[in-house]
Structures are given as structure tokens and as C-alpha cells.
Amino acid sequence: MAQAKHIFVTGGVTSSLGKGIIASSLATLLQARGFSVTIQKFDPYINIDPGTLNPYEHGECYVTDDGAETDLDLGHYERFLNVATSQANNVTTGKIYYNVITKERQGAYLGKTVQVIPHITDEIKRNFLLLDDTGKYDIIITEIGGCVGDIESLPFIEALRQLRWELGGNDVIVIHLTLVPYLAAAGELKTKPTQHSVKALSESGVQPDIIICRSEKPIPMEIRKKVALFTGVNVNSVIEALDAETIYDVPLLMRKEKLDERVLAKLRYPYKKEPNIDAWKEFLGKLKNPTDSVEIGLVGKYVELHDAYKSIAEAFVHAGAYNECKVRLHWIHSEKINDENVESILGKLDGILVAPGFGERGIEGKISAVRFAREHQIPFFGICLGMQCAVIEFTRNVLGLSEAHSTEMNPDTQVPIIDMMEEQKKVTMKGGTMRLGAYPCKLKKGSKVQQAYGKSQISERHRHRYEFNNKYLEEIEKAGMIASGLNPDTELVEVVELVDHPWFVGVQYHPELKSTVMNPHPLFVRFVKAAQECKEKK
Ligand code: GLN
């Protein structure tokens, strides 16, 4: 039985209006009033999870502590709320059908015809309430992916209708996010798309309680009244969401529009203190008033789509604000780099990050970038595949084993310095089968990473199949690249760093996934600092 209050966020008119940021901002305000809040995302696509998707499709795949491969919006939830999400926070149509079909094969519905209503909708409702069952939350915000009116989101909207009917309007409210476009030629803001989108929602039996209008221009009272009239929402529940300079402004913009107050009134929630957002404001103050700046190159092969590296870009925002330093990211395509042109592409940078990735494409460019950073004493940060490239480069050019490679790129290499884990060799299925989620790591005393973290025991999230091959460890360490972080149970190498370099660190895990506004990741903080020092020296 439901104990928490439920807020659903649906979207209309177009995708990419920022439902995830609105949900995160509202959650931030409610959390700042002392409520325990979580956010979950329901995605209409058929993939069981986004783990098998190319980053070009929906951007990065965000990994939780418990090893779920999820939508990148969960990254926003964690960055805003500073609370970890889990497997249960992201559900797709594929997962719902998979559960229902599995039960059907087990005979759970024996004798019955299995149908969208009630079987699929019941399974959706069960999943809507999974986090509620933990008893940990006062308020659960559920973001429904896609657009109202899409064929594939219909079962989610129907399940929402049923749940509201079952639990009642004081426990379940619906916020609908739409677009109010500005037609420059007519000099007018247009409400028609909003009217249509709310009509589509109402036809599915769901009347929104609050309408948030995304707009590039302020929405005057007469337009708000028009939206209210056509959609049957109180005028003070028509909220404006202006394009913001940074996503981190949105909680304050929503506060100004009194979104949190409207929500609590609709939920008939007893008064709790005003939100305390001083720390958030302090972060924004630092973010907007930097006293220094650095140029950092992000070398990857999906750079055309910045969302493919969302968490890395946001981790730089957090670390930059912490250091009161503007981080200018240069998105550099690894396929365009080679040993001949590398200086002209990377020569002016204060720091180089080589990004995570899969497969052969662009790999040699990444290795050239590593070499340049190593030889020119430019701060370097390698993440996952980036760390593997650092090890390959070192083995080839310092140990002189020119054949060195990862068996992911060259299965027949004579020097498999990066190789598949034993347990991975048995794996044949693709989805959810990598080394996923949080693993402990022990850092070497006195190492650069141990100093950055300020502690020796850490836990970080993983998403990979290949590993540093310990057969070469001794030789590599003798030559000046040390394994400064090890998994305490398996001895797998999690971190490498160069002894003779201002800041050269490669990590097998994904630190970017744990950086939040209130808790910038220490390795990003230290890397930005190293870039500042590098700039000063020039
Ligand atoms: N492709 C590499 C592996 O599977 C690295 C993965 C990553 O960068 N996330 O080990």
C-alpha cells in the first residue's frame, strides 16, 4: 500500500523540454524543506535498459551503485539530490513486458488471456510503487519519458490514471510540461500546442494539476490565464520555465514561480519549513563568478553528441565551481588525432581527458593524445577506456613493446596488456553482463589519488569487460607507472598514475558518476587544480 505522496511529470508538444531537470529541481526544493524525496524514470522504449544502446541514441548510459545501466536523467537526479539511485529508479516498457511474459511462462496467469489492461498496467503500477514499498520516502517523483500522445507511452498514462483513481487526488498529482513557442514574425507567444497536448492527456483520463510552460520569453498574466482557461488548471498553477543560463539555475527559477508551494498545497501536505537553499546559492555564486579559467580537452569518439559524456561535463562544472575556475571544455574527436598533428590540436590545452568508450574506432588517436600529455607534462585524466589507453601507450612507448594492445581491439596481440577478465570469457549475452556497479578499491598511501581523496578506502562504479593484465604489473611499475589503486578482493588494477609527472591518473572506474553539486568528485577537483597549475607555469 502506498505511503508516500506521488508526483508524476509528463511531457507534451516535443521531447527534450527538460522534464528531468524540472523533476530534479522540484525534488531539490522539496528536499530543502526537509522531505525525503526520490525520482524515478519510466521510459517507453522496448530495450530492457539503455545498456545496449549506442550513445548516439540517448546519450550516456548512467550506472548506479547496484549495477543498473540506466537513462542519463538518473545522473541529474543524483547530481541535484546528492542521493544514490538504484535499479528500481529506471523502468522501461521492455522491462515491464519481460516481467509479465516471464510470469506468463511460469503459469502465473494460467487459464487467463494476458492483456495490456489489466496485466501490463498492473505491472506498471507495481513498479510505480516499488520505491514506495521501501518506506524510505515522503515524496516520489515519477518522470514519464516521451511525449503524451505517443502510442508507446499510452500504457504508462493509463496506469497513472488508474493509480490516481485508486489512491485519490491528495496523494497523486500530475505536472504536465509543455512548450509555449514564441513566433518572432508575429511577435507572440502561442498556447495552442499546450491546449492540444493537455487535451490529449485528458482524453486518456488524466487531468493535470499543474502546467509548466517552457518558454524562451517571460509568460505574461494574460497568456497564463488563457492556458488556465483552456486546460482547467488554476492560474497560479500555470508555471513558467524560462530557458536558463545553466541547469543549476532551475531550482531557483522554480522557487520564484512557487512550484514547490503549489505542489505541497495540491498534495494537502502539512506545512514544513521554507526550503533552505543557501548551499545551492553558494555553489551558483562560485559557478558564475570564477576567478580563473582553464582549457581542458575531452578526447572521445562521440563528441558530436555532448550528452554522450553528460556526467563528465557536469563533473567539470562541479569541480570548476569548487575551484572558482571556469572550465572550458574542448570537444575533440579522437579519430582526427595522430602522432603528426597532435601538437597542433592539443598543444594549447591545460589538461587532457581521454574518455570512456568501446571498440576500435578512434583508439589510435586516443593513444596519441595520451602520449602527448605524458611527454609534455600536461595534466592527464583517463577514464575507463581512457585508462586502458594510458596503459597501452606506456607499454608501447616506454617499455618498448610496440605490439601492446587491448584484446578488445586486437584479440591476437602478442602483448595483451589489457585483457578480458576470466569470468567475462564465459559471457555470451550482451545486456547487463559487464562488470557493473560499485566495487571497493584500496589506494596506495602517499599516491596522488590517495591525497586527492584524502582517504585510502573508496568505492566507485564500473562498466567494462576488460582489465589491466597483472602479468605486466611489475615491469610497468619499475618503469614509473604505478598501480595506485587495487581491488582489495581480486587485486585488479583500478588506478594507475605516473610517478614522474605533475598529474597523470587513469582510473578503470567512472568517477564522473558520483560527482554532485554538493559533493564534487575529488579527482575532478584535483585535475582542474592541476590544470590551473599547468597554466600558471606556461
Ligand atoms: N571498452 C572497455 C571495456 O569494456 C572500456 C569500457 C568503458 O570505457 N566504459 O573494458
What residue owns the CA closest to ligand 1's atom 5?
385
Atom of ligand 1 nearest to the CA of 434: 4
Mean pLDDT of 243-257: 97
Query: What is the tens place of the pLDDT at every residue in 433-456?
Result: 889 999 999 999 999 999 999 999
Q: What is the pTM of this model?
A: 0.95
What was the pLDDT predicted at 424?
83
Is residue 89's pLDDT more than 90? yes
> Percent of the chain beyond pLDDT 90?
91
What residue owns the CA closest to ligand 1's atom 6?
464
Cell of 322: 569548487
Q: How far is the CA of 247 from the centre of ligand 1 (A)?
A: 29
Mean pLDDT of 453-468: 97
Is residue 422's pLDDT more than 90? no
Is residue 21's pLDDT more than 90? yes
What residue owns the CA closest to ligand 1's atom 1?
358
Is residue 421's pLDDT more than 90? no
Is residue 183's pLDDT more than 80? yes
- The residue to mutate among 52, 301, 358, 423, having the most atoms of ligand 1 within 8 angstroms of its beta carbon, is 358
What was the pLDDT predicted at 2?
64
Residues with CB under 6 A from ligand 1: 356-358, 384-385, 408, 463-466
Is residue 167's pLDDT more than 90? yes
Q: How far is the CA of 356 from the centre of ligand 1 (A)?
A: 6
What residue owns the CA closest to ligand 1's atom 3?
464
Which pLDDT band, with edges at 50, 70 and 90, does 432 fall under? confident
Is residue 272's pLDDT more than 80? no
Q: Which residues are catalytic?
A: 384, 510, 512
> Percent of the chain beyond pLDDT 70?
99
In angstroms, the CA 319 to CA 321 distance is: 5
What was the pLDDT predicted at 460?
98
Q: How far is the CA of 172 from the centre of ligand 1 (A)?
A: 41
- The residue to mutate among 69, 381, 388, 433, having the most atoms of ligand 1 within 8 angstroms of its beta carbon, is 388
- The residue to mutate among 466, 492, 508, having the most atoms of ligand 1 within 8 angstroms of its beta carbon, is 466
Residue 101's contacts (CB-CB under 8 Å, 6 or more residues apart) are none
Residue 226's contacts (CB-CB under 8 Å, 6 or more residues apart) are 191
Q: How far is the CA of 500 from the centre of ligand 1 (A)?
A: 26
Q: How far is the CA of 392 from the centre of ligand 1 (A)?
A: 14
Query: What is the tens place of the pLDDT at every residue in 273-283?
Result: 889 999 999 99
How high does pLDDT run on average in the chain?
Answer: 95
Which pLDDT band, with edges at 50, 70 and 90, does 1 fall under? low
What was the pLDDT predicted at 54?
86
Atom of ligand 1 nearest to the CA of 357: 8
Mean pLDDT of 121-149: 95
Cell 500530475 found at: 174
Which pLDDT band, with edges at 50, 70 and 90, does 345 fall under? very high
What was the pLDDT predicted at 223?
96
Atom of ligand 1 nearest to the CA of 418: 10
Q: How far is the CA of 92 from the centre of ligand 1 (A)?
A: 24
| DSSP-based three-state secondary structure for 446 | coil
Is residue 53's pLDDT more than 90? no
* Amino acid code (one letter) for 249: D
